[in-house]
């Protein structure tokens, strides 16, 4: 099972058994990563959602959306196809289907 490791400006997907870097993706900065079926949902600190295919070979975004204004530091909640996110002033829920 690969693991996503995020640093200030670069994120990497690493194979836990071997420590081998499987892919890099730049400019993620800070945020959260949630596995939703066959997709990764990355919510950046600036409030942008990036949906990407969850594959061990590459990081390939398939869609982007600005959900909230910055600063988003809380973990999202995902249930029944709905994604709840909040920043310091707003709680919002989005249907992902």
- Structural domain of residue 21, as residue ranges? 2-70
pLDDT (tens place) for every residue of the chain, 97 residues total: 455 545 445 677 777 788 888 777 666 668 888 999 999 899 999 999 999 988 877 778 899 999 999 999 999 999 999 999 999 999 999 998 7
In a domain, residue 80? The reply is: no
Structurally, how many domains does the chain consist of? 1
In a domain, residue 37? The reply is: yes
Strands (E), 1-97: 2-6, 10-15, 21-26, 31-36, 39-44, 48-53, 61-66, 77-79, 82-86, 91-95
The model's pTM is: 0.77
Q: Retrieve residue 27's tokens.
A: 């400019």
Here the CATH number for the domain that contains residue 22 is 2.40.10.480
């Amino acid at each position: 099972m690969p693991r996503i490791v995020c640093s200030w400006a670069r994120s990497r997907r690493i194979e836990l058994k071997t420590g081998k870097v499987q892919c890099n993706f730049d400019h993620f900065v800070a945020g959260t990563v949630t596995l939703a079926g066959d997709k990764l949902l990355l919510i950046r600190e600036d409030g942008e959602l990036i949906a990407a295919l969850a594959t061990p070979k590459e990081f390939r975004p398939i869609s982007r959306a600005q959900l909230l204004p910055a600063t988003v530091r809380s973990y999202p909640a995902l249930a029944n196809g709905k994604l709840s996110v909040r920043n310091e002033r707003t709680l919002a829920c989005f249907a992902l289907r």
